[in-house]
Amino acid sequence: MKKRVLLVGGRRKARSLALSLLKRGYQVTAVNSDRDDCRKLAELEKLNVICGDGTKPFVLEDAGAEGQDIAIALTPKDADNLVICELCKKRFHIRRTVALVSDPQKTAFFRKMGIDRVVCAISAITGIIEQQAFLEQMENVIPVGEGRVNVLEVAVPVNSPAAGKTLVELDLPREVIVGCVLRDDAVMIPWGDTAIWANDLLVLIVASGKESEAISALVGKGACGL
């Protein structure tokens, strides 16, 4: 059976999320209290749209909350997102709830209240901006574990102090793992005695905050401007 997703609130976020979920074959219902937003959302084919305040139980009931697999609260107000997720969980027994939170201080509290995933847009965006601005050597950064760990790509330049050394010889922090070495067409899962060459592309798993240390060991000191 198709997975069913309920999106509550959010204007552009709801629209682009709905679009991507529908494309992947989910059955999506959007709830929004603004009539104009609803009209905009209704332009999407196959999207069910319910106009109403998603923090009210009867509106969620109209949206078929009882049978949904995932509920995602996207309103700009933290209090509303909290209530939406709690209603979805406690009253409509939706297994997985996701809330957007604007105040980074409330992330832990939302988790404590039983919300399965809490996404703090501000922390996420500042994190991305920091990475983009300061760590040019990172090709691609994927935060996992709520941003506590990052998976990233690093290219080894020709003048790198790491070139020609094996992993054990490198001065990498303990919180860094070289998960994969991409060399030409080859993909290698490295061991301690695997040597790093210039022009290798490394996939690192790094505890958040250790990126610059890892990069200076692989690319060279002072390379990251941090």
Partner 1 sequence: MKEKIADNTIIVGCGRLGAELAGALSDAGRSVLILDKEEVAFRKLPLSFGGLAVAGDGGDLDVLRQAGIEQADTLIAVTNDDNVNILIAQTARELFHIPHIIARLYDPERECVYRELGIATICPTQLSAREIDKLLSLPREAIA
Using CB under 8 A, which of the segments 31-39, 106-114, 185-193, 202-210 binds partner 1? 106-114
Residue 72 contacts partner 1 per CB under 8 A:
no
Out of 3, 62, 69, 109, the only residue in the binding site for partner 1 (CB under 8 A) is 109
Residue 57 contacts partner 1 per CB under 8 A:
yes
Find the shortest distance in angstroms from Cβ 84 to partner 1: 9
Residue 52 contacts partner 1 per CB under 8 A:
no
d(CA 156, CA 162): 8
- The burial of 97, by beta-carbon neighbours within 10 Å (0-12 exposed, 13-18 middle, 19 or more buried), is given as buried
d(CA 114, CA 3): 21
Out of 6, 37, 80, 202, the only residue in the binding site for partner 1 (CB under 8 A) is 80
3-state secondary structure of 193: coil
Which is closer to partner 1, CB of 113 or CB of 121? Answer: 113
Residue 135 contacts partner 1 per CB under 8 A:
no
Out of 3, 11, 13, 56, the only residue in the binding site for partner 1 (CB under 8 A) is 56
Residue 86 contacts partner 1 per CB under 8 A:
yes
**Within 10 A of 120 (CB to CB), how many other CB atoms are there?**
22
Residues 39-58, buried b or exposed e (16+ Cβ, 10 A)? ebbeebeebbbbbbbbbeee
Find the shortest distance in angstroms from Cβ 1 to partner 1: 28
Report whether 35 contacts 14 (CB < 8 A). no
Question: Which residue in this structure is represented by tokens 């957007």?
Answer: 100
Using CB under 8 A, which of the segments 40-48, 80-88, 131-139, 213-221 binds partner 1? 80-88
Residue 123 contacts partner 1 per CB under 8 A:
no
CA-wise closest residue to 9 among 111, 79, 89, 103? 79
CA-wise closest residue to 54 among 83, 15, 78? 83
Which is closer to partner 1, CB of 77 or CB of 210? Answer: 77
Residues touching partner 1, count (CB under 8 A): 20
The full 3-state SS of 139-156, as one line of letters, equals EEEEEECCCCEEEEEEEC
Residue 33 contacts partner 1 per CB under 8 A:
no
Interacting residues toward partner 1 by CB under 8 A:
55-58, 77-80, 82-83, 86-87, 90-91, 103, 105-106, 109, 112-113
